[in-house]
Amino acid sequence: MSTNNVFRWLTAACVVLASQWAVAGPKIEHWVAPSGARVFFVENHALPMLDIQVDFAAGASRDPEAKSGLASLTHALLDMGVEGMDENRIASRLADVGAQISGGVDKDRASVSLRTLSMRDKRDVALDIFRSVLSTPMFPEDVFAREKARRVASLRESLTRPDTIASRAFWDAVYPAHAYGRSATPESIEAIRRDDLEAFYRDHYGASGAVVTIVGDLSRSEAEFVALNLTAKLPGGSSKPSADAPRLPSAGEQRIPHPAAQAHVLIGMPALKRGDPDFFALQVGNYTLGGGGFVSRLMQEVREKRGFAYSVYSYFMPMAQPGPFQIGLQTKKEQAGEALKVTRDVLTTFLAEGPSDAELQAAKQNIAGSFPLRLDSNRKILDNVAVIAFYGLPLDYLDRYIENVEKVTAADVRAAFSRHIRLENLVTVVVGGE
């Protein structure tokens, strides 16, 4: 083809794609509050409700080595007693106005969220309590002792479960001698003192590191006021540096006995950091390998053709430091060996060949086509924008998502996978099995 024809053809193709898939993300307003907190706001008056999420770099990777579980315990106690209100008053008053405080802790991030109706008399009560939970938690000694005991009991129970055992062994093997690899134990929780919570809170819940995401029925000026009000009295702690980059593990297999009827299998390695330019190639490629549900290769080979498993998947978990690539499945213990072999064959074939043209097209078509489903509720918008906010992704990340997906070629996928997945670094964990 002459250069002119190629150019015309490419332009035409781009035009067709753009018109079919032109879906922009929500309009995200962004500013830095006088408190130092970064604020991200999506105004939406369709429903009389408000969702706010405040994120801190206070995840489990910040636990001191001998006190794994500190980040999680600190977070849990935030709403169990604040200045002027005990835990029962907090819960009752929130329920009185139909508001809900929730949240969670993963390895990078601690999130505290509020969902409330937006009419003033409800909203003001909810915001008042939310501000206290963020700014003046008391960590009462008796509540702390009780919650410690509950955690230990719950942890002991989860340590009997094959899925928990597999997950902990996986993180430990994939991230040896690294903060991401540590998990709480009954001993590490027992070692935590109340002062540790106060210190952790002071050090990690500061305004300068806080990220506030607001979605819903507020005006811009109201959102500015709310964001400042929520963060003005946060501690002035300095941001602690995050964990170093993990070193790659050597390939190996760990087998842990368990009496369960099924073996739980996990395979993986450190793979993907937030903001990595290979992100889209890996996402698109993973769809074919094991991310695309029923249409993926792993599903076809392990479940559909052989009936080995109900659930088999692969995914990349992008994190502040390279988060894991993981393949997982559960299968009757007698056939664990066979299922593992089929899984490994699927992976090695994919690494060698990458997706076919048809598979690549199907992946892009689904990821681009289903994009509106990611944003069709306030809750989903909140989740998406909070990730952009916390990880410092570009504000037009959602607007350009489809375009970035469409650009990926089969060569990009093969190259990205070869950069991020190496057989000599893949760790395997099998819990149960013969």
Partner 1 sequence: MRHTQRFISLAALLAAISFSIPAWANPFEHQLANGLRVIVKEDRRAPTAAHMVWYRAGSMDETNGTTGVAHLLEHMMFKGTPTIGAGEFSRLVAAAGGRDNAFTSRDYTAYFQQVPKQKLEQMMQLEADRMRHLTLDPKEFEQEIKVVMEERRLRTDDQPQAALSEQMHAVAFQAHPYRVPVIGWMNDLESMTVQDARDWYERWYVPNNAWVVVVGDVDHQEVFRLAEKYYGPLASRPVPARKPQEEPAQSGIRRVTVKAPADLPVVLMAYKVPVIRDVDKDVDPYALDMLSAILDGHEAARFSKNLVREQRLAVSAGAGYGPTARGPGLFYVQGSPSAGRSPAELEAGFRAEIARIVKDGVSEEELARAKAQLVAGQIYKLDSMFAQAMEIGQLEVIGLGHVADKQMIEKLQAVTAASVRDVAARYLVDDRLTVAELDPQPLPNAPRRPAAALRH
Q: Shortest approach of partner 1 to residue 338 CB, angstroms?
A: 13
The span of 143-151, 191-199, 270-278, 320-328 binding partner 1 (CB under 8 A) equals 143-151
Q: Shortest approach of partner 1 to residue 374 CB, angstroms?
A: 10
CA distance 52 to 209: 16
Q: Shortest approach of partner 1 to residue 10 CB, angstroms?
A: 23
Site membership for partner 1, residue 74 (CB under 8 A): no
Beta carbon nearer to partner 1, 97 or 317: 97
CA distance 262 to 258: 9
- Neighbouring residues of 88: CB distance < 8 A, sequence distance ≥ 6: none
Site membership for partner 1, residue 309 (CB under 8 A): yes
Beta carbon nearer to partner 1, 199 or 362: 362
**Contact present, 41 and 29 (Cβ < 8 Å):** yes
**Longest CA span, the chain:** 79
Q: Binding marks (x or -) toward partner 1, 160..199, rule CB under 8 A?
A: x-x-----------------------x---x---------
Beta carbon nearer to partner 1, 296 or 326: 296
The span of 176-184, 224-232, 308-316, 411-419 binding partner 1 (CB under 8 A) equals 308-316
Beta carbon nearer to partner 1, 48 or 236: 48
CA distance 171 to 190: 22
Q: Which of 10, 15, 34, 310 binds partner 1 (CB under 8 A)?
A: 310
Site for partner 1 in 226-245 (CB under 8 A): none
Q: Which of 34, 236, 257, 392 binds partner 1 (CB under 8 A)?
A: 257
Reference 297, options 370, 352, 251; nearest CA is 352
Q: Shortest approach of partner 1 to residue 177 CB, angstroms?
A: 24
Q: Which of 113, 167, 262, 384 binds partner 1 (CB under 8 A)?
A: 262
Site membership for partner 1, residue 259 (CB under 8 A): yes
Site for partner 1 in 407-426 (CB under 8 A): none
Cβ-count burial of 293 within 10 angstroms (0-12 exposed, 13-18 middle, 19+ buried)? exposed
Site membership for partner 1, residue 348 (CB under 8 A): no
Site membership for partner 1, residue 358 (CB under 8 A): no
Token pair listed for 191: 């070692």
Site membership for partner 1, residue 157 (CB under 8 A): yes
How far are the Cα atoms of 122, 325, 326, 420 from residue 289, in angstroms, in the given order?
A: 48, 12, 11, 14
Beta carbon nearer to partner 1, 98 or 392: 98
Report CA dihedral (111, 116, 118, 119) to the nearest 10 degrees: -140
CA distance 28 to 41: 6
Site membership for partner 1, residue 27 (CB under 8 A): no
Identify the residue whose tokens are 């009757």: 332
Q: Which of 311, 356, 409, 418 binds partner 1 (CB under 8 A)?
A: 311
Q: Which of 104, 236, 275, 307 binds partner 1 (CB under 8 A)?
A: 307
How far are the Cα atoms of 161, 218, 223, 253, 379 from residue 40, in angstroms, in the given order?
A: 39, 13, 9, 44, 14
Site membership for partner 1, residue 289 (CB under 8 A): no
Number of residues that bind partner 1 (CB under 8 A): 77
Q: Which of 371, 393, 399, 400 binds partner 1 (CB under 8 A)?
A: 371
CA distance 54 to 113: 6
CA distance 52 to 311: 34
How far are the Cα atoms of 19, 23, 76, 264 from residue 373, in angstroms, in the given order?
A: 18, 11, 31, 31
Phi-psi category of residue 101: left, alpha or beta, with phi > 0 → left and psi -120 to 50 → alpha: beta
Q: Binding marks (x or -) toward partner 1, 106..135, rule CB under 8 A?
A: ---------x-x-x--x--x----------
The span of 202-210, 229-237, 252-260, 388-396 binding partner 1 (CB under 8 A) equals 252-260
Helix axes 357-369, 279-286, angle to 10 degrees: 110
Q: Which of 56, 171, 308, 390 binds partner 1 (CB under 8 A)?
A: 308
- Neighbouring residues of 241: CB distance < 8 A, sequence distance ≥ 6: none
